[in-house]
Amino acid sequence: MRSGGRVKHCTYLWLVALGILLEIGACRGSPVAERESSLSLIHGKARKQQSNQAYTTLLYGDEFLLGVRVLGKSIKVTGTDKDMVVLVSKGVSSEAMELLEADGWIVEHIDLLENPNSKKKRPSRFWGVYTKLKIFNMTNYEKVVYLDADTIVTRSIEDLFLCKRFCANLKHSERLNSGVMVVEPSRDLFEDMLAKVTTLKSYTGGDQGFLNSYFEDFANARLFDPLMSPDERKEYNPEFERLSTLYNADVGLYMLANKWMVDDESELRVVHYTLGPLKPWDWWCHWLLKPVDLWQNVRVTLVESLPGTRAGETAHSRLVVRVLFLIPLIVLAFCNRRLLCQIHQDVCGLLCTGSFCGYARQLWYKYTAGSALPIYSKITGSPSNTSVNQYTGGTGGISGSSRLPTYLGSLSVVVCFICALGSMVIAVLLVPRQVMPWTGMILAYEWTFFLFIVLFGKYLDVLYGLGRSSAVAVSSVPSSPDASGYNSGKGHSRSAVLWDAQTVFYGLGMAFFAMSVPAVPFILGVSALFARLGLMITMGLVLSAFMTYAAEHLAIKWYLRGRDEWNQSRPQSGYCGIC
Ligand SMILES: *[C@@H]1O[C@H](CO)[C@@H](O)[C@H](O)[C@H]1NC(C)=O
């Protein structure tokens, strides 16, 4: 580094560029903050009841907080003046309640209603779900529209308040679904329900099964008609009415049919993300389920009702994302600092010198002369590569004076797949679940590649070492002339033994196929679940084929290179050995 000042100056430029990148990453998809004037709420004044009709939902824990925020926003967008009440149980943090109040919810505390079936062998996830019956006890309201936290409203549903006594939607097998309900709260009704909770059967072990037993005859209910004339409605007093699919459109059914099972999709009012553990706030669901678009579109419009909560983020999640984003970059940069130093000097030279053309020409000569940078200068045609090509024809075969370990090829394939799978699993577990879909995707890929490079790189490094020791044992292989391409004299000069043109090519190939697995269905515009899965499996097979090929070749290549270079007296500096 001859021109120290210039390089220092450039280091600063790099940092600024990285900072800008991070900011872009953090701001992606979120609109300019429009802070709401909800300061009075932050300072402890709880919202008061303002109407005698309300939208309501339940929150058992912070995991569903984002769901409730998005639901609330989607209700507000329809321009309602009704109250929005969230019933929270003990598991909800005070920060979450503060945030919901700032968003415009009225927060009411409730105790969990015990599940009478929980002593029998019922699914544990229904613990506490009888609590939902408490909406029948909200007697300070005349009528309540209940929505699950995993629903969103896509059009105004004010007409639901016309519903007389109890409305819900029928789903599969003539069962009512308790995800969207219109309830006329009544102390008598509630107490009657409580009295029967222990005696009536519940096919789900939870509230939905109980309600199906309690409203035994619900399957015969007439369809709720919001267009019925007021006079007619006055005369009309059914025990319950049945809501059309428009008010509780099931994403599970959408995924099977690849369309909403309604006449006019623009008439949809409530979308219900029913698919078990696939909740719309988990980043990967956006890449599986097309209807999650609707949910994410509302999510990005969430305002910053409390500092740092724009678009459903939190200060904590933003920090985690940044740290996760930076760790692999820093580690890889550290392990390849000499290479980066070189690139840094070259790029800075390009940016900072006045005579751009002259510098470019200089660089060109430097690289074509092949003296500066191992990664660029070690290319094909060297003796070691030639010998690789000879060997790869017959794996494990004998050529010349040496023999490859018998299981080298197949073992390497297995190791490669284990590394890839392990990296992917760890990466997906590391990424916070509720980040934006793109953030999650980028982080998951970054960590998968990072872990894979470290793990499989280490394996190749071990093979390189084995190759060397085999050569030491045989003592019959001449030194490879291409190794003189490195800067000689400095013992530490090879900090990244595994970077060369061929390895980079295989690495990029694997990265390309890995990224095309989810990308191809999107590029082709395939949204049907089974077609999409089929395409992804096909691309996965292509990826596996390429990985098999690459793993075998790389293993043999690095084993042989280790053997060929054994007498170059260099410290054993593995890929990340210096870290
Ligand atoms: C029902 O609501 C009343 C207040 O309206 C309350 O006093 C009572 O405890 C509630 N019942 C249950 C079981 O939560």
Backbone angles phi, psi at 496, to 5 degrees: -130, 85
Atom 11, ligand 1: residue with shortest CA distance: 137
Q: Confidence class of residue 102 from pLDDT cuts 50, 70 and 90?
A: very high
In the predicted model, is pLDDT for residue 573 greater than 90? no
Q: What is the pLDDT, as a whole number, of residue 391?
A: 43
Q: Confidence class of residue 341 from pLDDT cuts 50, 70 and 90?
A: confident
d(CA 435, CA 283): 6
535, two tokens: 């395409």
Q: Confidence class of residue 107 from pLDDT cuts 50, 70 and 90?
A: very high
CB of 186 within 6 A of ligand 1: the answer is: no
Question: What is the SS3 assignment for 460-517?
Answer: HHHHHHHHHHHHHHHCCCCCCHHHHHCCCCCCCCCCCCCCCHHHHHHHHHHHHHHHHH
Q: Which atom of ligand 1 is nearest to the CA of 187?
A: 1
Q: What is the pLDDT, as a whole number, of residue 147?
A: 96
* Mean pLDDT of all residues in 331-355: 71
Q: What is the pLDDT, as a whole number, of residue 492?
A: 36
Separation of 86 CA from ligand 1 center, angstroms? 16
Is the model more confident about 546 or about 493? 546
Q: Within 13 Å, how many C-alpha atoms sit on residue 243's CB side?
A: 32
pLDDT winner (highest mean) among 95-104, 223-232, 248-257, 498-507: 95-104
Separation of 191 CA from ligand 1 center, angstroms? 10
Q: What is the pLDDT, as a whole number, of residue 535?
A: 93
Q: What is the pLDDT, as a whole number, of residue 121?
A: 52
Q: Confidence class of residue 14 from pLDDT cuts 50, 70 and 90?
A: low
Separation of 137 CA from ligand 1 center, angstroms? 6
- Tell me if 53 sits within 8 A of 106, measured CB to CB: no
Separation of 140 CA from ligand 1 center, angstroms? 11
Separation of 154 CA from ligand 1 center, angstroms? 33
Mean model confidence pLDDT for the chain: 78
CA 404 to chain centre: 42
CB of 143 within 6 A of ligand 1: the answer is: no
Q: Confidence class of residue 26 from pLDDT cuts 50, 70 and 90?
A: low
Of residues 131, 110, 119, the one with CA closest to residue 206: 131
Atom 8, ligand 1: residue with shortest CA distance: 137
Q: What is the pLDDT, as a whole number, of residue 201?
A: 80
Q: What is the pLDDT, as a whole number, of residue 320?
A: 92
CB of 141 within 6 A of ligand 1: the answer is: no
- Tell me if 113 sits within 8 A of 192, measured CB to CB: no
- Tell me if 342 sits within 8 A of 372, measured CB to CB: yes
Is the model more confident about 376 or about 553? 553
Q: What is the pLDDT, as a whole number, of residue 312?
A: 85
Q: What percent of the chain has pLDDT over 90?
A: 39
Q: Which atom of ligand 1 is nearest to the CA of 110?
A: 14
295, two tokens: 């949910």
Span 143-171, pLDDT tens digits: 999 999 999 999 999 999 999 889 999 98
Q: What percent of the chain has pLDDT over 70?
A: 72
Q: What is the pLDDT, as a whole number, of residue 393?
A: 40
Q: Confidence class of residue 9 from pLDDT cuts 50, 70 and 90?
A: low
Separation of 376 CA from ligand 1 center, angstroms? 75
- Tell me if 115 sits within 8 A of 129, measured CB to CB: yes
Q: What is the pLDDT, as a whole number, of residue 22?
A: 64
Q: Which of 137, 189, 193 to mutate to test the pocket of ligand 1 (most atoms within 8 A of CB)?
A: 137
From residue 240, give the alpha-carbon distance in Å to each of 170, 172, 220, 223, 247. Answer: 12, 18, 9, 9, 15
- Tell me if 438 sits within 8 A of 29, measured CB to CB: yes
Atom 3, ligand 1: residue with shortest CA distance: 137
Separation of 309 CA from ligand 1 center, angstroms? 33
What is the residue type of 43? H
Q: What is the pLDDT, as a whole number, of residue 537?
A: 94
Q: What is the pLDDT, as a whole number, of residue 503?
A: 87
| Domain architecture of the chain: domains with CATH | 39-309 (3.90.550.10), 320-564 (no CATH)
Separation of 134 CA from ligand 1 center, angstroms? 8
Q: What is the pLDDT, as a whole number, of residue 2?
A: 45
- Tell me if 72 sits within 8 A of 104, measured CB to CB: yes
d(CA 384, CA 400): 13
Separation of 143 CA from ligand 1 center, angstroms? 17
CB of 345 within 6 A of ligand 1: the answer is: no
Do strands 270-272 and 151-153 pair parallel, antiparallel, or not at all (unpaired)? antiparallel
Q: What is the pLDDT, as a whole number, of residue 493?
A: 36
Q: What is the pLDDT, as a whole number, of residue 539?
A: 95
In the predicted model, is pLDDT for residue 450 greater than 70? yes
Q: What is the pLDDT, as a whole number, of residue 206?
A: 77
Separation of 220 CA from ligand 1 center, angstroms? 31
Span 484-507, pLDDT tens digits: 333 333 333 343 455 678 888 999
Q: What is the pLDDT, as a whole number, of residue 238?
A: 87
Least confident of 281-290, 465-474, 490-499: 490-499
d(CA 160, CA 162): 5
CB of 117 within 6 A of ligand 1: the answer is: no
* Mean pLDDT of all residues in 196-215: 82
CB of 131 within 6 A of ligand 1: the answer is: no
Atom 10, ligand 1: residue with shortest CA distance: 137
* Mean pLDDT of all residues in 262-278: 88
Atom 6, ligand 1: residue with shortest CA distance: 137
Q: Confidence class of residue 119 from pLDDT cuts 50, 70 and 90?
A: low
Separation of 138 CA from ligand 1 center, angstroms? 8
* Mean pLDDT of all residues in 321-350: 80
Atom 2, ligand 1: residue with shortest CA distance: 137
Q: What is the pLDDT, as a whole number, of residue 110?
A: 87
In the predicted model, is pLDDT for residue 353 greater than 90? no
From start to end of 307-417, where are the E strands?
A: 398-399, 402-403
Is the model more confident about 345 or about 335? 335
- Tell me if 146 sits within 8 A of 56, measured CB to CB: yes
* Mean pLDDT of all residues in 13-38: 54
The label of the residue with tokens 């059309």 reads 244
CB of 557 within 6 A of ligand 1: the answer is: no
Q: What is the pLDDT, as a whole number, of residue 405?
A: 82
- Tell me if 280 sits within 8 A of 150, measured CB to CB: yes
Separation of 170 CA from ligand 1 center, angstroms? 29
What is the residue type of 576? C
- Tell me if 70 sits within 8 A of 298, measured CB to CB: yes
Q: What is the pLDDT, as a whole number, of residue 568?
A: 58
Q: What is the pLDDT, as a whole number, of residue 45?
A: 58
Separation of 185 CA from ligand 1 center, angstroms? 12
Question: What is the SS3 assignment for 75-132?
Answer: HHHCCCCCEEEEEECCCCCHHHHHHHHHHCCEEEECCCCCCCCCCCCCCHHHCCHHHH
What residues contact 188, with CB distance under 8 A and at least 6 apart? Answer: none
Q: Which atom of ligand 1 is nearest to the CA of 134?
A: 14
CB of 139 within 6 A of ligand 1: the answer is: yes
CB of 134 within 6 A of ligand 1: the answer is: yes
Burial (CB count <10 Å: 0-12, 13-18, 19+), residue 149: buried
CB of 137 within 6 A of ligand 1: the answer is: yes
CB of 548 within 6 A of ligand 1: the answer is: no
